[in-house]
Amino acid sequence: MGLGFALGGCGHTLYVFQANSAASRLEEARELGAEKLAPYEYFYAQQHLEKAQEEAASADYSDASNLAEIAEEYADKAVRLSRDAHRGGGR
């Protein structure tokens, strides 16, 4: 029983780390204007982060972690595309 509890605790910790990282990248993307410059990537990340939060609220940390990881990946893409657009690179 202790091992199951410990593993469950790890899932929560991993989710929190990934969700915080994704939220930070999403905020950076928003500050760069990704809502207009990389809307698909920005809103895809946002929706995945929201779904991750819903899954975590149900204590489904495995799915929550996976969704947060996807959110961070797309937030990174939104940041990159937005920076490129500011430099004149566009898509």
Domain total of the chain: 1
Residue 2's pLDDT band (boundaries 50, 70, 90)?
A: very low
For residue 58, what pLDDT is reported?
95
Burial of 86 (0-12, 13-18, 19+ CB in 10 A): exposed
For residue 3, what pLDDT is reported?
37
Report yes or no on whether pTM surpasses 0.75.
yes
Span 11-27, average pLDDT: 94
d(CA 16, CA 64): 9
pLDDT in tens, 21-79: 999 999 999 999 999 999 999 999 999 999 999 999 999 999 999 999 999 999 999 99
Burial of 60 (0-12, 13-18, 19+ CB in 10 A): middle
- Nearest one of 78, 88, 74 to 33, comparing CA atoms: 78
Residue 20, domain extent:
2-87
For residue 89, what pLDDT is reported?
63
d(CA 76, CA 49): 13
- Whose tokens are 């410059």? That residue is 37
For residue 88, what pLDDT is reported?
87
